[in-house]
Amino acid sequence: MCSAPGIVSPMARKSSQSRSSQGKPVGATPSGTAPSAARPAALEIYDTTLRDGAQAEDVTFSAEDKVRVAQQLDGLGVQFIEGGWPGANPKDIEFFRMIKTVPLQTATVVAFGSTRKSSNAVQKDPNIRALLEAETTIITLFGKTWSLHVTDALGISLVKNLELISDSVAHLRSKGRRVFYDAEHFFDGYKTNPDYALETIRHAVAAGAERVILCDTNGGSMPWEIKEICQIVRRECAVPLGIHAHNDCEMAVANSLVAIETGVVQVQGTINGIGERCGNANLCSIIPNLELKMKRPALRDRLSHLKRVSGFVAEIANLMPNKHQPYVGDSAFAHKGGVHIHAVLKNPATYEHVIPGLVGNHQRVLVSDAAGRSGLLEKIEAYGIKLDKSHAKLQELIGVLKERESEGYQFEAAEGSFELLMRKAMGTHRPAFQLLGFRVIVEKKQDHGASSSEATVMVKVGGVVEHAAAVGAGPVNALDHALRKALEKFYPQLREVKLLDYKVRVLSANRGTESKVRVLIESGDHKDKWGTVGVSENIMEASWQALADSIEYKLLTRDE
């Protein structure tokens, strides 16, 4: 039997309304009285991008990547960074070794791991040893809360599981570590067997845990369930509570905010919401909602760093940023409709719920045939060209824009092509080169052999004709290489340019292989990114248009 006081039969009661009369309240004071309802007002942001976020499909962080992300999170002002599970893989062990030499200003690095195995003595358990060897001042330990997991996953008795929790927490505390206890599957466990779920955290607190984090591990709870259960646990728990929500029902952000409303002080999540299955609670939404909507300071006046950190993590994780993500997405404050643009240019509050700069973002007026004169004029002026609304060139440009969009062009994500289009219409563009011709050959010699691609390009720069050939991983890649090869001797700055993304969209699928396609290319150098577009029934012609615009945009002289 477990030696911890207050254990009750886990099946004795199903009601959640009368538990305090049987057994000790969770984390009760020695006198047995329930703790005060008062809670610290300060919030704690606990980032688990490097551990839970790294469990997302298609996401892999090296130890060096983790250190770089940790530095960004520290600069953002988060209080805790969960670095990984040192007992799970060598990469996390290496991270904890490396991070010791990195000075952090605001954040504390935390190691994560599980309670001991039932077959091991706590002093000899490899996982517990690895947690101690990580040499972090705080360890987050998770244990089973849901009776289903105890009996079906661990295959042990409910009482034995309580012993694992008590032994593990107490041992880590005896070694001088602070312990946060993650009550895994707490909400599912509570809904199934509230007495046992509470008893697990009762044992963790009695053994010395200073935080209890209530986890919606399967992500299946609703906000009203989170609210009710958090209120009950908070009344009975002497230590501050945390919330760890997953997003399987698209409720992770809502569930986290509701929990905080009940008095929970620590919120756990990941940057951009990355994580296993459908992801974790998105700190890029939670934090600005806390600070701007709930007036709960969380980042020590560093909220304006949020968009930059969001983009950094996406880049390191090799994920395309979600442009429609609230607050930090490129489209979060983008306006396309003419009525919207007309209003927002007079007063941003008409269609923007917060000031974009507060989260490091900015307002964007998109280019489309829905934008109208006001929106288009705003875009033109952004490029340093002053025109009156009655200027003939403005109407001409609107006409060109509408014609291009009717052909399938879109410029919302291709502002490089739009600037070139605008300058051509205004008569201010001076082409950097002239195409004389290109040819692409794709060859495949055997059924199971790899295909090869070769491109030749002939261009004219000034009075000089240049002819170049190159091979590539595919026809577009070969064409890109050949064009750069022909131009780099004239424009060495093109060596800085990289093709970051390439997308093809079929515009008229009913025509089969004769369908018109739109190619969008994103390019960048060491300081900027830009998008370009091409449209044609021939995918190579559309790709050429976008590639050529990409080069022309890089070579623009912006002093006209």
* Residue finishing a domain among 490, 506, 521: 490
Q: Does residue 325 lie in a domain region?
A: no
Q: Clarify whether residues 141 and 225 are in a common domain.
A: yes
Residue carrying structure tokens 């927002």:
344
Q: Clarify whether residues 246 and 368 are in a common domain.
A: no
Q: Does residue 184 lie in a domain region?
A: yes
- Return the CATH number at 258: 3.20.20.70
Kindly state the tokens that stand for 266.
């620590």
φ, ψ for residue 194, nearest 5 deg: -60, -35
Q: Does 506 have pLDDT greater than 70?
A: yes
* pLDDT one-digit tens code per residue, 384-433: 566 666 677 777 777 777 778 778 887 766 888 988 988 887 788 889 99
Q: Clarify whether residues 276 and 390 are in a common domain.
A: no
φ, ψ for residue 152, nearest 5 deg: -95, -35
Residue carrying structure tokens 């309240």:
25
Q: Does residue 3 lie in a domain region?
A: no
Q: Which structural domain range is residue 184 located in? A: 44-316
**What is the C-alpha separation between 19 and 226, in angstroms, rounded?**
18
Q: Does residue 536 lie in a domain region?
A: yes
Q: Does residue 156 lie in a domain region?
A: yes
Query: Which residues make beta-bridge pairs with 334?
Result: 364
Q: Clarify whether residues 540 and 468 are in a common domain.
A: no
* pLDDT one-digit tens code per residue, 476-485: 999 999 999 9
Q: Clarify whether residues 292 and 173 are in a common domain.
A: yes
Q: Clarify whether residues 275 and 344 are in a common domain.
A: no
73 — pLDDT class (breaks 50, 70, 90): very high
Q: Clarify whether residues 458 and 555 are in a common domain.
A: no
- Return the CATH number at 504: 3.30.160.340
Q: Does residue 217 lie in a domain region?
A: yes
Q: Clarify whether residues 500 and 514 are in a common domain.
A: yes
**Mean pLDDT along residues 101-129:** 96
- What's the pLDDT at 25? 43
- Cα–Cα nearest to 438, from 555, 548, 550: 548
Total number of domains in the chain: 4
- The 10 Å CB-count burial string (b at 16+, else e) for 107-120 is bebbbbbbbbbeee
271 — pLDDT class (breaks 50, 70, 90): very high
Q: Does residue 2 lie in a domain region?
A: no
Mean pLDDT score across all residues of the chain: 86
* pLDDT one-digit tens code per residue, 203-227: 999 999 999 999 999 999 999 999 9
Q: Clarify whether residues 130 and 247 are in a common domain.
A: yes
Q: Clarify whether residues 170 and 108 are in a common domain.
A: yes
Q: Clarify whether residues 482 and 359 are in a common domain.
A: no
Kindly state the tokens that stand for 203.
């044992």
φ, ψ for residue 524, nearest 5 deg: -160, 160
- Return the CATH number at 462: 3.30.160
Q: Clarify whether residues 64 and 201 are in a common domain.
A: yes
Q: Does 20 have pLDDT greater than 90?
A: no
Q: Does residue 295 lie in a domain region?
A: yes
